[in-house]
Structure 1
Amino acid sequence: MKKAQATQPKSDAPSVLEKERHILLDLAKDITKVREKNDLIVLFTKRIRSFFEFTHTIVTLIDHKDETYTPFLLDNERSPIRDHSAYQGLIKAHFNLNEPFIQEVLAADGPISFYLEDVMDEPKSPSFLRVNYERGVREILMTTLWHEEKPMGFIHIYSDNKETFTQEFRNIIKGITPQLSVAVSNIIKNEELQKKEAEKSYLLDFSNDIATVRNKEDLALSVRTALAKMNSLNGYVIRKINEDGQTMSTYIYDTTLSIQDDSLLQEVLRSKFPINDGLQNRVLNSYIPLLFNVDIEINRGITSKYLQLWKHIGFRNLVGIALRHADVNLGILWLNTDEVNIPLIQGICAQISIAMANIISNESLVTKTTQQEVLLQFSNEIAGVRTKSDLEKAIVKVLREMLDTKLAMLRVFDEDGLHLTPYIFDRSIFANFNIDFDKMASVKIERSEIYTAQVMKSREAVVFNVAEELKREDNSYALLWQKTGFRNMYGALLTVGNSNIGTLWLLADHLDPAILKGICSQIGMAIANIMANEKLLVYKQQLEQENVYLKEQIKNIYNFSDIIGSGEQMQNVYRLMSLVADSNSTVLVLGETGTGKELIARAIHNASPRKDRLMIKVNCAAMPANLIESELFGHEKGAFTGALERRIGKFELANHSTLFLDEIGEMPLEAQVKLLRVIQERELERVGGKETIKVDVRIIAATNRDLEEEVKAGRFRSDLYYRLNVFPIELPPLRDRMEDVEALANFFLSKYSKNSGRNITRISARALQQLHSYLWPGNVRELEHLIERSVLMAQGNTLQEVYLPKKTDANTAAADAFDKTLEQMERDFIISTLKRCRGKISGPGSAAEVLDIPGNTLHSKMKKLSISKSDYFKN
């Protein structure tokens, strides 16, 4: 590229050098005082022009990120192009750093000059060259400003003749360039500091202003004022995330904008836009402001109405910033602007977010207070409701006075769960129309009816817009709603817990969903209570009997932990229990008195699917023969002398549960016949009654008798025996599971020590030996009572002695005496005794003591009968 040559000075060299030195010294002193842009321009113009003539000068700065350079310092007073039509565009323009003209300046070792006519028409040459030429400028001198070995800008010096930039001038500019670079750098830093201080001051003022915000209107005013101060009031809107968390709606917007199509604006203001529309979700997911071009987004396929509104208004570029408070997204600020001061706009949005969160919280608090007031008054109105008419008055009053709505219909489900019957309605709704509403309201509807079906599917209230429903083909209901003048019909399901009570239909322009939900909850509860009260009048006696019985039975509930036994025989019992527990099969528990038959019955019930209901117990031996039938099956009032009221039998109480028939072997024959029928047919009739009552009862029977022998003797019906003997479980006597004696004794010791307030923690070895040497004719029950007695009589924290009953034939008799010789019987008896005494031959609690013979005699007999340690003692 062609460049201008320096003209040579006519004076001698020493005087020129002295002049340059003097100029440089003066300029260096003055440059140190430069702080503002104008200071540098004034200094440059005043000092340099006193020695050399030129038209004007500017300084441009390099933006390395964009690879451009832009005007920074302007000589507006002397610039010949300041009235040119292109001037305003030039001072805001970004010129390409990679074009040949400026690249030659960057490559030069010092100031370099060009004749404008030679370079202004070269390809890619900057437009400011021609504009200056058009205003008489003929030559330009440029030099690069450096900072930390990196180019930061350029000095442009213009002249209207071609003889201005002598070598002397160039030397001065080259000499002063380092000081000018430092001055420009200081100005930039000072401007940055001033800008940050201004931003801080601006944010502080905005913070103070927004601290007084209490409602949405205050926030709108503060935002408008703040944006106007930063020259960004070109249009804005704040959108808030709705309660559904899926959509956003307009919260506040710039009301100063002039919009011709008001219908489009109103549509956007009313609409809810999905968050995931391809635009809003991008902003909410970003932690920095995002710049969008309206046309580009529309061309991308974003069809949201608000984009069309922005285009209609004339918005080109918008910045979207997420409004967050404590990492929770509240909404978005959309700002119509081409440039973004990210730190400043983020600071503004942080303040807006705090104010917005406070307003939302306050609005929520006010709403909740209003809701609570309405619900409290409604609650007070229906608190004393006992009848349907009372409930109707309460509902109609609250709906009219507090919610400006009317009760169209309240229906309740029939017992079949398929139909709904009108329960309460407001006749005044159609009072001014020729409509027989009573007749229409008396018709039952099915739950499959189109509107009812929609309400049934939703757990929230369903809003039916009357205008929209009129568009349906079958719009008979909508035509009826239209006559009332209300815009919406609200349908809600009335429930109590998981039970559907009915449906509620309200006509209104608008209802708060939370209030409606609360009202529905209370109405549902009130209806349920009214219905329950009506049923209570019918079943009062039954419930009273059940309540008394259940209170008595609660005291006797046992836990699985009460079953103690780890021996082989008890393990077999556990196995049988686990096999039968999940079924509905009848169980017959057999065993001697005191073996724990009721405990086993309760364990089977508690492990069955019927465990959520109490097991009902009947002691067949404890009831007189003439009352057992009434006890089992119940009786009607007047069925016999003394039957003053209806009585619910144990079978009905045990419906869907378990009936435990204890001591079944004691039941009279005449009662056995009816029991058999109930077990077979699963139905019964109360004494003196004619109604057949279906029951679902699982039978567990228990007896200490040999029912087969009872059947042979004619004291027990064989058919009933076979019905009961479906799954027999025989409990072993305690003498046959002596390995469990110690565990049982320790359990009862802990139980009765606690009950009596004693601190007995262990049983002595001597006492345990006593327990093992006894045959326990009364089984576990006898052991329990003996431990209880011994605890009461014990001293200290160790049970030293168990007060066993005196010896009798019952606890010294040998078993299995048939088909054996006298010697075999004697040998087996001694071995059995040694086993019970844990191999102890002599001393307290020994086999010799049990056999009542000296220890030496027992040794002699053992030797004679070949009894070895392996016969009675297992390792």
Structure 2
Amino acid sequence: MKRVKNMDPGFSVPSLAMLEQERRILSELGNDITGVWDKNDLITLFSKRIKSLFYFTHTIITLIDREDETYAAFLLDHESPLRSRGDYPELVSTHFSLNEPFMQTALQAAEPISFLLEDVMDQPQNPAFLRANYERGARKLLMTKLMNAGKPMGFIHLYSDQPDSFSEEFRDVMKGIAPQLASAVSNIIKNEEIFKKEQEKSVLLDLSNDIATVRTKAELALAVSTVLRKINPQGGFVIRSINEDGTTTGPYVYGLNQTNGPERLIGSDEATCPINDGLQDRVLNSPIPLLFNIDREIQRGITSAYLRYWQTIGFKEIVGIRLRNGDTDLGILFLDIREINIRLLQGLCSQVSVAMANIIASEQIIKKQDEQAFLLDFSSDIARVRTKSDLQAAISRVLDKILQTKLSMIRVIDEDDRHLSPFMYDEELFAHTKAHFAELRDNRVTVDDVYTAEVLSSEDGIIFNIEEELKSGNNYAKLWETTGLKNVYGMPLRVGNKNIGTIWLLADRLSKLMLKGICAQISTAIANIQANEKLLAYKKQLEVENDYLKEQIKTIYNFTEIIGNGEQMQKVYRLLSLVSESNTTVLILGETGTGKELIARAIHNASPRHQKLMVKVNCAALPANLIESELFGHERGSFTGAIDRRIGKFELANNSTLFLDEVGELPPEAQAKLLRVIQERELERLGGKQTIKVDVRLIAATNRNLEEEVKAGRFRADLYFRLNVFPVSLPALRERPEDIEALTHFFVQKYSRNTGRKIRKVAPKVLQQLRSYTWPGNVRELEHLIERSILLTTGDVLQEVHLPQNTTIDQPGSTHLLNRPLEEVERSYIIEILKRCSGKISGVGGAAEILQIPGNTLHSKIKKLGITKSDYFS
């Protein structure tokens, strides 16, 4: 650059023309940098423009990784002399430590800083690229920090083969252009991230399109290979599936591995390996992909065949990702890949899992089609069976002619539920051993017989190997051996969950599905035959039972008369008369045993809905996981054990009344759904999609203080307000002593009649005792007390009742104190007051002031009652 001499010797300044040219070029450079989106274009543009002003040989831009405190190459100069070195790929891919002395000096510099390479390249810990550049002719390095949000994000490295390069003017230019370069680099990084995400979406979308058409293993292998070539062209893959036993895995499908020969497959061994081999179980228990070093895993002691195979074909590292469909583990996808993109791999595995699940399901369907077709034909034959001979003909036709299976014996359980009698057998099977067969056939077998008990207690039957049974001394095995078959299948015959007998089949091999299907059909046929034989008797018996149940229902649910005419009950009657005729929701409050269900039935019986049965649900008696099913019903298959559709109590109570007893015990999830049904008057069964409209009058009851439950967060406030439309509070029995006598006489008559006793009257002293007791258990306690007393009475007068002594049941308002001695009550009360006053006895705010007695008097009482400081100081 030309300089204009100043009056002062040794000092030179750029000419105005040169300064103007620099500003123009830097302005143009800044504009060009702002518009650059590709990092290669950026380094080229930057290098050419700066070289038009100052001399240097080549440049590179590095970025800092704050997670591991390293920096690595980001933008590479195409004119770099290092490109001819053999270790160039390693140099540009290496992450160098920020803690090197050389880099720490550059980080701490506020301005661009230069280094003579021969001074720094051999210092301990300094990066290898310094000597590499020196060996290619570079002598000086200028480092300029790139800042982002006030923090260093990387560096511009400028190299020159002249030791006197990088003047002050050059440094000023670099300082001026650094912010624009930093901004351009930031934009490029963001664009690369966007492009990478779009590329991931494109890859997953392509895979989704390919997966949609997958029906076989070969198609799955092709689809996975296609998408993996886009991620890692040189890599391969293997999918290992979990076998039916649930404890081992085996090869499922493979992908080509081009790095180890175009025709070499990963994991082409067919060995099964246990899941818990120290590697596969780690993958299956990890929600994210795991990277393994093959040699290191083998050194750890993992001896699985697939791992050894991968080592022999030269793999160093492998990524394992579990394949899961819903909550079911299907297998593992192993990839020959170095870089883990968790989001991409999880998306890939999600789609592969769905395809794999579909293939497995399809294979199982194909496998079972013939068995199902057979069972369908067998079912058709069984459906026509009406007699034992029909059944034997159907069994013989199917078992012998189609399955090459022989029927040894069917035994059915007798009415005593202990013995089993021969029901059906094949006489021709043991024709040459008739005597031995007849002896074993006529044995009186019980459900406790060793082999019978084992079969009846099994879920899917027992397989007995005839050869092994002969060695064990099984008396039946000698008979079985004569058939020339290998196995005996002892299967339970069940209808529902009830054992009705056993069936013994002889065959070399039978599938589990076939066995279950055959036994289910035969069980149904036997049950139908037995049912036909006893149809008339059962019909008559059911008619008698039906009449009895109707009469019992009338007796049990006759709640037209409620005992009690005292003032407290009159208030309740008035409320009932106001609400019964309406459809208003009623909330019945009261302690345990006050008769909340009785009141609910009275409301229903007096309502326009009384023609239909009131439906009751005890919310406290149901497990939390069954409450929703009980209230709203469920569809078949909505959860484990849901084998049929079930109508919920809300649907059952449509156009009637639903009584929710102990509603305060509902769990939060059920509360939310209950609120929706009350508000919308509609529901959906569990697992269902149909919205069902219901017209239900709701009556709820609880012995809890729902306001306190709402404050404590255990009960929804909005549900409470929905239920608390018309509250009815039932008085405790201790609050209505005038009704005790009437209730006593009612229960005496009821239980005298039920127990066959003839109690004419109740002694006055008994009534006095009953009136003086506080009844923590309310009317229910009185009822049970009278029942017990009647059982203990020998005469015709109830002379004595057995009241509890020292009851410990705390009732609201501490009414249990009424059953305690006066001195004990006084002592407890004084202690409570002293606790409240923090032990202060006299003076303002003292216990004596609250008790309104002189302080000396209180001191005397404390001493007399034996109250010490330890009683009221914790």
TMscore range, shorter length: 0.5 to 0.7
Letter in 1 for 2:352: I
Structure 2: distance between partners of 1:171 and 1:728: 112
Letter in 2 for 1:559: Q
| 1:87 shift after superposition | 1.5
Partner of 1:460: 460
Alpha-carbon distance between aligned partners in 2 of 1:272 and 1:189, rounded to the nearest angstrom:
45
Residue equivalent to 1:444: 440
Q: 2:64 aligns with which of 62, 65, 75?
A: 62
Give the match for residue 108 of structure 1: 109
TM alignment of 1:224-623, pairs within 5 A: 224-231=225-232, 234-238=235-239, 247=247, 249-250=249-250, 252-256=252-256, 265-268=269-272, 273=275, 283=283, 286-293=286-293, 315-324=315-324, 332-359=332-359, 372-385=372-385, 390-399=390-399, 406-407=405-406, 409-412=408-411, 424=425, 444=440, 455-462=455-462, 491-496=490-495, 497-505=497-505, 507=507, 511=511, 513-527=512-526, 536=533, 551=543, 555=547, 558-559=551-552, 561-562=554-555
Note if contact 2:147-2:182 (Cα within 8 Å) is conserved in structure 1. Answer: yes
Letter in 1 for 2:440: K
- How far does residue 102 in structure 1 lie from its aligned partner after superposition? 0.9
SS in structure 1 opposite 2:125?
coil
Residues 307-335 of structure 1 show CA distances to partners (whole Å, capped at 9, x for unaligned) of: 56655665554444444556666554443
Q: Would you say the 8 A contact 2:333–2:349 is kept in 1?
A: yes
Deviation string 1:325-364 (CA, Å, 9 cap, x unpaired) is 5666655444343321122223223333444455556566
Q: Deviations over 1:636-678 (max 9, x none)?
A: xxxxxxxxxxxxxxxxxxxxxxxxxxxxxxxxxxxxxxxxxxx
In the alignment, is residue 152 of structure 1 matched against residue 142 of structure 2? no
Cα distance in 2, alignment partners of residues 409 and 395 from structure 1? 11
Q: Is the 8 A contact 1:248 1:331 kept in 2?
A: no
Q: Which residue of 1 aligns with 2:735?
A: none
Cα distance in 1, alignment partners of residues 387 and 225 from structure 2: 58
Write the deviation string for residues 505-530 of structure 1: whole angstroms up to 9, x where unpaired: 3535562x333212111123435566
- Secondary structure of 1:265's aligned partner: coil
Partner of 1:40: 42
Residues 105-135 of structure 1: per-residue CA shift (max 9 Å, x gap)? 1111222222322222211111222222333
C-alpha distance 52-451 of structure 1, shift in aligned 2 (>3 A):
farther
Q: How big is the shift at 1:545? A: 7.3
Conserved in 2, the CA contact under 8 Å of 1:400 and 1:406?
yes
1:90 aligns with: 91
Q: What SS class does the counterpart of residue 71 from structure 2 fall into? A: strand
- In the alignment, the residues of structure 1 paired with residue 77 and residue 485 of structure 2 have an alpha-carbon distance, to the nearest angstrom, of 71
Q: Which amino acid aligns with 1:406?
A: T
Question: Separation in 2 of the partners of 1:239 and 1:109?
Answer: 57
For the Cα contact (< 8 Å) 1:455–1:491, is it kept in 2? yes
In the alignment, what sits opposite 1:829? none
Q: Look up the match of 1:72.
A: 74
What SS does structure 2 have at the residue aligned with 1:61?
Answer: strand
Alignment of 1:109-258 (within 5 A): 109-231=110-232, 234-238=235-239, 247=247, 249-250=249-250, 252-256=252-256
- Cα shift at 1:64: 0.8
Q: Would the aligned equivalents of 2:489 and 2:506 in 1 still touch at CA under 8 Å?
A: yes
Helix, strand or coil: the match of 1:152?
strand
Instruction: Flag the 1:562–1:236 CA change in 2: closer, same or farther, 3 A.
Output: same
Q: Say if 1:21 and 1:532 are closer, same or farther in 2 by CA, change over 3 A.
A: closer
SS state of the match for residue 501, structure 1?
A: strand
Cα distance change on mapping 1:385 and 1:315 into 2, 3 Å = farther
Specify every segment of 5 or more residues in structure 2 that has no aligned partner in the other structure, as ranges: 1-8, 562-753, 761-874
TM superposition score normalised by structure 2: 0.52
- Report the CA distance shift for 1:383/1:66 in structure 2 as closer, same or farther (over 3 A): same
Distance 1:311 1:482 in 2: 51
Whole-Å Cα distance in 1 between the matches of residues 50 and 279 of structure 2? Answer: 56
Residues 387, 62 of structure 1: alpha-carbon distance in 2 compared, 3 angstrom cutoff: same
Question: CA separation in 2, counterparts of 1:553 and 1:532?
Answer: 18
Contact 1:323–1:332 at 8 Å: present in 2 too?
A: yes
**Equivalent position of 1:21 in the other structure:** 23
**What fraction of aligned residue pairs are identical, expressed as a percent?**
49
Q: What's the offset of the Cα at 1:499?
A: 2.4
Q: 1:267 Cα deviation (Å)?
A: 2.3
Q: CA deviation at 1:96?
A: 0.8
Instruction: Give the SS at the match of 2:49.
Output: helix
Take 2:25 and 2:65, find their aligned partners in 1: how far apart are those partners?
32
CA distance in 1, matches of 2:516, 2:203: 46
Provide the C-alpha distance between the structure 2 equivalents of 1:162 and 1:261, rounded to a whole number of angstroms: 56
SS at 2:492 equivalent: strand
- Once residues 269 and 171 of structure 2 are traced to their aligned partners in structure 1, the CA distance between those partners, rounded to angstroms, is 63
1:405 and 1:119 mapped to 2: Cα distance?
A: 89
Q: Distance in 2 between matches of 1:352 and 1:261?
A: 19
Contact 2:267/2:309, CA 8 A, preserved across alignment:
no
Provide, for residues 806-826 of structure 1, a one-character-per-residue CA deviation record: whole Å limited to 9, x for no partner: xxxxxxxxxxxxxxxxxxxxx
Q: Distance in 1 between matches of 2:499 and 2:29?
A: 94
The verdict on how the C-alpha distance between 1:141 and 1:476 changes in structure 2, with shifts beyond 3 A counting, is farther
Please state how far the C-alpha of 1:459 moved relative to its aligned partner: 0.9
Are 1:422 and 1:442, in contact at CA under 8 Å, matched by a contact in 2? no
C-alpha distance in structure 2 between counterparts of 1:197 and 1:263, whole Å:
32
Partners of 2:423 and 2:109 lie apart in 1 by 98
Amino acid at match of 1:207: S
Q: Give the count of matched residue pairs.
A: 546
Kept after mapping to 1: 8 A contact 2:69/2:98: yes
Change (3 A) 1:354 1:27: same
TM-score, with normalisation over the residues of structure 1? 0.52
On the 8 A contact 1:273/1:304 being kept in 2, the answer is: no
Alignment check: 8 A CA contact 1:137 1:161 kept: yes
CA distance, structure 1, for counterparts of residue 196 and residue 222 of structure 2:
25
Letter in 1 for 2:70: T
Instruction: Give the letter for the 2:180 counterpart.
Output: Q
Q: Give 2:212's aligned amino acid.
A: A
Q: Residue 37 of structure 2 aligns to a residue in which SS?
A: coil
Asked if the contact 1:409/1:505 (under 8 Å) is kept, the reply is: yes
What is aligned with 2:685?
Answer: none
Rg larger in 1 or in 2? 1
> Are the equivalent residues in 2 in contact too, given 1:422–1:441 (CA < 8 A)?
no
Distance in 2 between residues matched to 1:250 and 1:289, nearest whole Å: 20
